[in-house]
Each structure stands twice: as C-alpha cells, then as structure tokens.
Structure 1
Amino acid sequence: MSGTLLDDHDVVLFDLDGTVYRGGELVPGALEAIQQAHRRGVAVRYVTNNASKPDQAVVDHLVGLGLEAERSEVSTSAQAGAAMLAEKLPAGSRVLVVGSAALESEVDRLGLVPVSGFADEPVAVVQGLSDELTYRAFAEACLAVRDGALWVACNADRTLPTERGLLPGNGALVELLRAATDQDPLVAGKPERPLLDRAVASAGGSRPLMIGDRLDTDIAGAVKAGMPSLMVLTGVNTPRHLLEARPEDRPGHVAADLRGLHAPKSEVAIGEQPAWSVTVGDRLDLSSRGEGDALGALRALCTAWWSTGSGPVQVEGTDDAARAALRTLDIG
C-alpha cells in the first residue's frame, strides 16, 4: 500500500466529542489534521450524535477552537432525528420534544409542531440530550409512548466525553424511558445509518471515511453504512476495547489521533506487522522481530485475534520490547 489514508477518500466524516475535541479543548493533532484535509480539497463533515446544540453553535465552537467550519459542514443527530420524523409523519403533526431548544427548532423547521405535554396529544416523541431535562419531561414522554406515540431517539450514546471525564449521554436517558415504557425507540444517530447517510449526501461524496473514538457508535455506524473507518484513541474506547471488539464494531484502521489520516495507509491499517509476531493459543503471545511501536503491536494483535474469535483474551509479551508495548497499550 502506498500513499496516505486520505488519498482514497473524497469526504471525511469526523465525530466531534472525543475525536476532534473534549469539551472546550481540542484533541492534540486535530487542528493540523483537519486543516490539511481542507488544503487537499477533501470535503469535511462534522458528524455529531450530540443533539443538544444547533448547527450554528457547533460551528461557533469549532471556530472558537481555531478550526474552519461552516453550517453546511455540520450534521447533528437532532437534524437526523427531525428528518426521520418528517419522513414518517404528515406536516403539522404534533411531536413531544424531550430535549434542547435546538432539537425543538429542527422539528419546527421541518413543518412539524413541537409540544411539551401529553395533553397536547402528540403522535410522536423525539428525545435528545439536554442538561435541563426534568422528571416532568420524562413523565410526559412516558405517557405518550405508552399511548402509542412514535418514539425516535436522536442517539443512544450512554456516555459523553468532556474535559472533566465521561458524563451521562442521551443513551443513558433513553434507557430510563425504555425501562418505564417497555418500548424501544427508532434511533437516528450513530450507529444507525440516517445521520451518516445524510452527511455523505450533503457533501456529494462517493468515497467516504468515518473517523471516531467509539466502537459502538462511530465504527459500528460505518460498518452498517458500508464505509471504511479509522478509530482514534483519544476518547471513550481503549486498545483493550478494540482488541476485544465484536465483528460489527471493528474498524479497518487505528491511530493515536487524527494525524493518522495523513499517515501512510500501511502504517494505520489493521493487519500483519513486520515488527511484531503473534502466536494464538489459549492466550495471545506477542513477540518483537524488529523495531516497532506500540500501535503496530496493537494492529498485529487485532489481526491475529480477529481471525480466531472475539471477546476477552489474555495477552502476554515474550520479550522486553513486547512487554513494553503492552504496558503502553495497557493490555496484559
């Protein structure tokens, strides 16, 4: 393989939380990597499962961090959730909004009528993250869903990466309503396809690449959409999570951060590594056979284990270099 990973793609979908930034801080390497993609003329789409902010607020946040961004480059799960409702409901239908003003605005923009209570006779419920939700909001939604209202969740992320650490995400709140109704929502955001498909279509792309930090949303969404993906180790999931990932959650590439987008494809692709050897038995034995880095060891381990099984596995290094790599990866 020659050239960089970016060379094969005409649009790059960047997850935001945990991939581009953590709260109010850019992830190291993100600024340079995205600027370089822009200079190459490759379409950029910022694809976020966070439904709490309008697209302009996302743009303002990105610009405030030093990035280039326009509203057309932002795709949110609030937009995808509202679009899903608009495809299924006639104009003027009443929708109970459990979420932020941004989500309410998206529902209104597509010709539906946002309401806040069961007494308003909603035919649907749409749920997105907001830090201002109250017990009453969930009680009203519970009544509506139990009465047969269509239920759409903007996303199902159980946690939200911030500069303070992991906080409850919309998925945790979806579980609350699921427990109270014994119903399951339709999901608009990752890992389902609507959000990603809309982002690619908006860019007119045919060779997309999805980049994210979460296996169960970013990477699983890419797998469902049939697009290549790059996992970065700057957010929720760890090398151990990657090694033990289910087949439907496995990326084709892994890098420390977004700078991997501009690395040679052979350096970021998950595959056999010249510097590392892995023996599969009751455990994985990692051995060095040249100068290699820890991420190369991770790619070699994933290649060996994924060809055999999935789930928990014991890993041991057979020499000093292998043991050092496993300590760096926190695998052992």
Structure 2
Amino acid sequence: MSATFFAGHDGLLCDLDGVVYAGGGAIAGAVETLSTLQERGVPVGFVTNNASRAPESVAEHLRTLGVPAQAGQVFGSAPAGVDLLEETLGRRTGRVLVVGSAYLRAVVEERGYEVVASAAQRPDAVIQGFDPGLGWADLAEAAYAVRAGATWVATNLDTSIPRAEGIAPGNGALVEAVGRATGTAPVAAGKPEPRLFRTAAEALGLARPLVVGDRLDTDIRGGNAAGFDTVLVLTGIDTRETAAAAPGPDRPTWVRAHLPALLAGGAEGSADPRRG
C-alpha cells in the first residue's frame, strides 16, 4: 500500500458512483485496486448516497464486477434518512409518504411507520429518495403533502449522478423541484452529513479512515466534517480545477486521477498545500 496515503490511516471509506462504477460498469482499475487492498487486509467500507438499493443488492453488484464485498460493508442514505425521519418526528408511529424506491419503503415500514400512497391520506411526513422510476405524479404528491404541513426528509441532495452515458439528474434535482413548488426545503440525511461516515467507521472499527469520493459537495465535505482525511478522484463529477477553487470545507486533502492511484502513490498533485 502507498505510504503516501495510508500512513496513519487504518482503512478506506469509498464512494461508489463515479469512483468504483459509472452506471452498471466498473471504472478502469477500480476493481483491481479494491481487491488488492482487501487482500492486504485493509478494511474497506462503501458509503453511498444511493437510496434505491439494499446493502445486499449493492454488495451483489460489486461482487458481479469482481470486488469482494458483503452487505455489512455497505452504508447507504436510506437508513440514514429514516434515522433522521425518526429523530424529526420524535416517534416510530405515523403515516409516511415514501417518494422513492421499494427498498426505501421497506426500511420505513421496518421502523414501524405506516406507508401511504398519496397526500390525500394525510401523511405526517414525506421521505424522498432517488429511484429512476419516479415521475411527475410522484413529485406532485410530495408537493401536496409538504404544502399541507407534512414533515419533509430527503435521503440525500446530490443534484447529479454519473452514468455510463454521462451526467444525469440525481435526487437533489428532484428534491429541488418539490422545493420550488412548495417554497420550502427538507431536512437531509446522507452525505455530506458527517454521521454517515462516522457510522461506517464505527461499524468497521476504524479510527482514522481515508475517505475517497468524486464529489466535493458530498464526499469531501462530509469526510472533512467527520474529521477524516479525504481524496478526490477525477473519474466522476468534480475536476482538478473545481478542487483547487473549492472553499475550505470542500477542499480535499489530496487529488488523484483515479482509485488505482492510491496504490501508485504520487500520480497527481494535491489540492491542499499542506499535503504532497
């Protein structure tokens, strides 16, 4: 392992979209890098804002690509969103309109809430997470419920997601549509909130993990806020130029071209003048 990156670090917390894969396919070198790290005994966790898939589904996808992964290594924004929902409501009872995936609905139901299908059923809360099948009618129901006074929680606020074909709208873009219609904003879980990183680190027994991601406003900001060193890789959303211009909270400890550069050591310059 590269001494440049892993001296003083006891594991890796890695984003997925734009770091390990884009769409359904692996990014060049990512599978081999993650396999090598785990063969060397480095604990690896996957921290994702994708609220549409269960941890086992994510782990299965990773295994299909060739990455050794188990559900216990995957930490997503759907459970984080439901944690925030529970905190905001102050109870595990009530009606919740779920604007998102079947997995998000299942997590809400597992916590004891009654899932409803429309604003006409007078939900106490709306929870909104990404699902590629969402349409105008789903967003309209969310807007009706929020306008009627329902508590509004978003699993995450990523405005875009990298796909094999290019950059596509993310959950944050859909949340913004509801916000424009209602004149309000949700409380949000997931990255860049530091809790998701700390939860992952605690679950894996890590005190000083290295956080790797492709987005300054989620991965890097959240890793920094959690008190961890961060690496921006240039295989997704942000660039060397945006990193150099980023404000302090969004400024990565290092910038590297891709995940394999973690093993190579010194392929790219740092965005932080304190680090080489």
* Structure 1 length-normalised TM: 0.77
**Letter of the structure 1 residue corresponding to residue 77 of structure 2:** S
Q: Which residue of 2 aligns with 1:172?
A: 173
The answer as to whether partners of 2:12 and 2:43 remain within 8 angstroms in 1 is yes
- One-letter identity of the residue aligned with 1:190: K
Give me the whole-angstrom Cα distance separating, in 1, the residues matched to 2:198 and 2:95: 26
Residues 6-55 of structure 1: per-residue CA shift (max 9 Å, x gap): 24222311100000111122112211221122123222111111111122
Q: CA 1:120 to 1:201, structure 2 compared with 1: closer, same or farther past 3 Å?
A: farther
Write the distance in 2 (CA, Å) between the matches of 1:205 and 1:88.
28
Query: Once the two structures are superposed, what CA deviation does each residue of 1:198-257 show, in whole Å capped at 9, x if it has no partner?
Result: 212221221121100111111011122121101111111111111211211101111111
* Range that drifts further, 175-184 or 186-195: 186-195
Distance across 1 between alignment mates of 2:261 and 2:182 = 43
SS in 1 for 2:260: helix
**In structure 2, what is the equivalent of residue 36 of structure 1?**
36
Does 2:127 correspond to 1:157? no
SS in 1 for 2:162: strand
**Matched-pair contact (CA < 8 Å) for 1:6–1:262:** no
Q: Which residue of structure 1 lines up, in the alignment, with residue 8 of structure 2?
A: 8
Q: Secondary structure at the match of 2:3?
A: coil
Match of 1:252 in 2: 253
SS at match of 2:249: helix
Counterparts of residues 164-243 of structure 1 (less than 5 Å): 164-243=165-244
**Match in the other structure for 1:303:** 273
Letter in 1 for 2:66: G
> 2:160 corresponds to which letter in structure 1?
T
CA distance in 1, matches of 2:257, 2:191: 22
CA distance in 1, matches of 2:150, 2:196: 22
72-81 vs 30-39, which moves further: 30-39
- 1:136 Cα deviation from its structure 2 partner: 2.2
For 1:11 and 1:112, locate their aligned partners in 2 and report how far apart those are by CA, in whole Å.
Answer: 36
Q: CA deviation at 1:105?
A: 1.0
- DSSP-derived class of the 1:230 partner: strand
Q: Deviations over 1:260-285 (max 9, x none)?
A: 32344xx37xxxxxxxxxxxxxxxxx
- The residue identity in structure 2 corresponding to 1:303 is P
Flag the 1:169–1:251 CA change in 2: closer, same or farther, 3 A: same
User: Is residue 254–residue 272 contact of structure 2 (8 Å, CA) maintained in 1?
Assistant: no
The match for 1:282 is none
| Higher mean displacement: 152-161 or 187-196 | 187-196
Question: What is aligned with 2:263?
Answer: 262
Query: Are 1:18 and 2:18 matched, yes or no?
Result: yes
Query: Are 1:61 and 2:61 matched, yes or no?
Result: yes
Pairwise CA distance, 1:158: 0.8
Contact 1:4 1:262 in 2 (8 A): no
**Residue 303 of structure 1 aligns to a residue in which SS?**
coil
TM-aligned CA distance change 1:133 to 1:153, over 3 Å: same
Q: Find the counterpart in structure 2 of residue 72 from structure 1.
A: 72
Q: Which has the larger radius of gyration?
A: 1
Cα pair 1:242 1:302 within 8 Å, conserved: no
Q: 1:109 is aligned with what amino acid?
A: E
Q: How far is the alpha carbon of 1:114 from its aligned partner?
A: 1.7
Query: 1:90-109 CA deviation, whole Å, 9 max, x = no partner?
Result: 12221110011111111112
Equivalent residue for 2:111?
110
**Matches of 2:40 and 2:86 in 1, distance apart?**
36
Q: Distance in 1 between matches of 2:190 and 2:92?
A: 22
Percent identical across equivalent pairs?
45
Count, aligned residues: 272
Q: Give, as a single letter, the amino acid of the residue that structure 1 aligns with 2:110.
A: R
Q: Distance in 1 between matches of 2:247 and 2:172?
A: 20
Contact 1:211 1:230 in 2 (8 A): yes
The residue type paired with residue 168 of structure 2 is L
CA contact (8 A) 2:251 2:272 kept: no
Q: Which runs of 5+ in 2 are unaligned?
A: none
Partner amino acid, structure 1, of 2:125: A
Deviation at 1:302, TM superposition (A): 6.0
Q: Which has the higher contact order (CA 8 A, sep 6+)?
A: 2
Contact preservation (8 Å) 2:240, 2:255? no
